[in-house]
């Protein structure tokens, strides 16, 4: 893996897209992003030199099947969670469907990391995958973002160097990337720990239960009277305990 680091760029995901054209596996980090990306066309906002801004780029030499493409949803958040468990030595971190990392802060789970996965296709063939990670480390004041209650390692009482956590995330990512499709998918589903939990969908007054995660990553919910298929984790709420 080649690691590129920049002082300031627009987006680690966009730079990774450009660099992966001539490489097989890369990591791109920056001290600051001027146009950081979040899901659903949202921006990922963070202070300069305060957090981890990291994107992995994978150039696919062989055709990748759907299960592998979907499992990439889990690689970033799994790498972060495992790295945090090692560095912080505390089991307070949870995954939220599909790929956010939350931390227990004073009895409430709050978002500490977001992951944005993008793919490039040539026709119907997946040419490359980009896995972007934003992890809150030393920032303690955040802009007011609807439905987002962020937390950082500093707010949790940890003093950790960005370089240390970066190295651990890259190390864990390399390990996960060696797993086969079924192993990676199964680890992701297990760590999500959402099957059987009570689910609320925003805008709906219905009590659902999570039944299954399909191989395409969608979440199947059922209630007493109906069935619901979810493909956007921002629309669901459930206990992370």
- What CA–CA distance (Å, rounded) separates 143 from 154? 16
Q: Could you tell me if 218 and 186 lie in one domain?
A: no
* Distance of alpha carbon 78 from the chain centroid: 8
Same domain as 139, residue 72 = yes
Same domain, 20 and 95: yes
User: Contact at 8 Å (CB) between 112 and 151?
Assistant: yes
Q: Are residues 29 and 56 in the same domain?
A: yes
Pair 135, 221 in one domain: no
Task: Examine the domain organization and report whether 139 and 215 are in the same domain.
Answer: no
- What does the pLDDT look like over 41-56, one tens digit per residue? 555 566 777 899 999 9
How far apart are the two ends of the chain, measured CA to CA in Å?
35
Q: Rounded to 5 degrees, what are φ and ψ at 40?
A: 55, 40
Please tell me the predicted confidence (pLDDT) of residue 68.
85
Q: What pLDDT, on the 0 to 100 scale, is given for residue 65?
A: 82
**Secondary structure element (H or E) that encloses residue 50, with its range:** none
Phi, psi of 31, rounded to the nearest 5 degrees: -75, -25
Contact 162, 135 (CB under 8 A): no
Quick one: 145 and 218 in the same domain? Answer: no
Asked if residue 196 lies in contact with residue 209, where contact means CB atoms within 8 angstroms, the answer is: yes
Mean pLDDT of each 10-residue bin along the chain, 241 residues long: 94 94 94 70 67 95 83 92 93 93 94 94 91 94 76 94 96 95 92 96 93 94 94 89 86
Please state the separation of Cα 100 from the chain's center in Å.
Answer: 5
pTM over 0.75: yes
CATH of the domain at 139: 3.30.930.10
Query: What range defines the domain where residue 84 resides?
Result: 2-192
221 and 161 assigned to the same domain = no
Question: Number of folded domains in the chain?
Answer: 2
The pLDDT, as a whole number, for residue 167 is 97
Considering the domain architecture, whether residues 212 and 145 belong to the same structural domain is answered as: no
* 156: Cα separation from own chain's centroid: 20
Q: Residue 45's pLDDT is what?
A: 63
137-186 pLDDT, tens digit per residue, is 999 988 766 667 899 999 999 999 999 999 999 999 999 999 998 999 99
Q: Tell me which of 156, 172, 192 is where a domain ends.
A: 192
**94 and 208 fall within a common domain:** no
Task: Give the rounded distance of the alpha carbon of 192 from its chain centre.
Answer: 12
Which residues have CB under 8 Å from 23's CB, separation 6+? 2, 57, 59
């Amino acid at each position: 893996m080649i690691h590129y680091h920049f002082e300031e760029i627009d987006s680690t995901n966009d730079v990774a897209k450009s660099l992966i054209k001539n490489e097989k596996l890369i990591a791109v980090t920056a001290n600051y992003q001027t146009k950081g990306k979040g899901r659903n066309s949202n921006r990922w906002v963070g202070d300069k030199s305060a957090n981890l801004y990291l994107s992995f780029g994978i150039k696919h030499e062989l055709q990748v099947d759907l299960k592998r493409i979907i499992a990439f949803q889990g690689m970033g958040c799994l790498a972060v969670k495992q790295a945090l468990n090692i560095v912080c030595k505390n089991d307070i971190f949870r995954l939220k469907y599909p790929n956010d990392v939350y931390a227990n802060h004073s009895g409430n789970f709050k978002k500490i990391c977001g992951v944005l996965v993008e793919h490039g296709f040539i026709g119907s063939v997946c040419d490359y995958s980009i896995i972007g990670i934003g992890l809150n480390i030393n920032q303690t004041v955040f802009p007011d973002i609807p439905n987002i209650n962020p937390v950082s390692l500093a707010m949790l009482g940890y003093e950790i160097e960005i370089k240390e956590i970066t190295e651990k995330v890259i190390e864990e990512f390399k390990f996960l990337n060696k797993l086969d499709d079924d192993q990676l998918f199964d680890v992701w589903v297990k760590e999500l720990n959402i099957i059987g939990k009570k689910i609320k969908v925003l805008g709906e007054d219905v009590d659902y239960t999570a039944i299954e995660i399909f191989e395409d990553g969608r979440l199947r919910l059922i209630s007493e009277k109906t069935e619901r298929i979810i493909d956007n984790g921002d629309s669901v709420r459930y206990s992370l305990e």
